[in-house]
Amino acid sequence: MSKVQSYSNTTLTLLCLCVLFQPILVHAKCTCESEYEDLNKGEALNFKLVAIASILVASALGVCIPLVLNHVPALQPESGPHFVIKAFAAGVILATGFIHILPDAFDSLSSPCLKSPWEGFPFAGFIAMMAAIGTLMMEAFATGYHKRAELRKAQPVNGDDEESGAHTGHVHGHSAIILQRSDSSDLIRNRVISQVLELGIVVHSVVIGISMGATQSPKTIKPLIAALSFHQFFEGMGLGGCISQAKYKSRAITIMVLFFSLTTPTGIAIGIGISNIYNEYSPTALIVEGVLNSASAGILIYMALVDLLASDFMNPKLQTNFRLQLGSNLALLVGASSMAILAKWGGA
């Protein structure tokens, strides 16, 4: 009986010790040093060069397809297929913000490698929220500025303008001015949307490019090549749709396409250059990546929900056509699901 009691006491003591020291044991697993299972710089460099070519082609194709399809009469704005394609692109961008970027931002800014004031507060969510609010304010101020400028230009210089012509002609001219202002306001809004959206995508693309370029593990890079290629392709489709609606001139379109297509490959090249000195677990790297990813996530989530989805899903043409409404909702779900699957496939 004494042996049984002794074993019981020993077991109880061990259980108590495990409970007491569990936080220490768990915390001991945390490290702020880079850990690679298979360091092979030569093989990793070959995969990085393949990634640069693959992502460059995928990005260019994705952003150019909507621009080419924009010349097809059946896919013009306000057409049924246009609503469906735009809903799919919005789903891609929304999932990118929520699933690909924001979790990485939380991981970076909640790392045990960071000290005060970063610990104990959800900075990733806070920065994302402020980025979304900042995007709203910037859009409102930019659109308001352009509208006020148009109103000043449209004011009659000569007071006799109102007296000239018949009353019917005056009403017709007034209606034409209102219609012209409406079209101009929509164009300005679409241009602001395309520029802010590209900013959010580019910030994220630079971060993931540098992270991939600095990695020395072929096992880490191989699955990312296909995942990031599809990721950039779908993101490019969303951005290309917004650029096509903005009706830029050929030169501006070329600049925006090149800027998007080259961002991630450039980030990879920078990562390759700093791979010998870059430590992804250093406090500086964690803070920079976390802040940029948080801001990018906030911008993309706002753009997808407010600028891309809300305006289209509240459009009378969509609401009065049940088949079109159903198709757009399905396209939204397919777009978001596609990026969610990529996150699982590529390890997000």
Instruction: Tell me, rounded to whole angstroms, the distance of Cα 78 from its chain centroid.
Output: 25
pTM of the model: 0.74
Domain ranges in the chain?
A: 54-67+83-152+187-346
What is the full per-residue pLDDT of the chain (348 aa) written as tens digits?
444 444 344 444 433 443 333 333 333 345 555 554 556 788 888 999 999 999 999 999 999 988 888 888 777 767 788 888 889 988 988 998 899 889 989 999 998 888 888 888 899 999 999 999 999 998 888 888 877 887 777 665 555 555 555 555 554 555 555 546 556 777 888 888 888 888 888 888 888 888 888 888 888 788 888 888 888 888 888 888 888 888 889 999 999 999 999 999 999 999 999 888 878 788 888 898 899 989 989 999 998 998 889 988 998 889 999 999 999 999 999 999 988 888 877 654
**Secondary structure in 3-state letters for 148-208:** HHHHHHHCCCCHHHHCCCCHHHHHHHHHHHHHHHHHHHHHHHHHHHHHHHHHHHHHHHHHH
| Residue 319: count of CB within 10 angstroms of its CB | 11
Contact of 55 with 228, CB cutoff 8 Å: yes
| Tokens coding 51 | 């990634």
One-letter amino acid for residue 170 of the chain:
H
| Tokens coding 308 | 């891309």
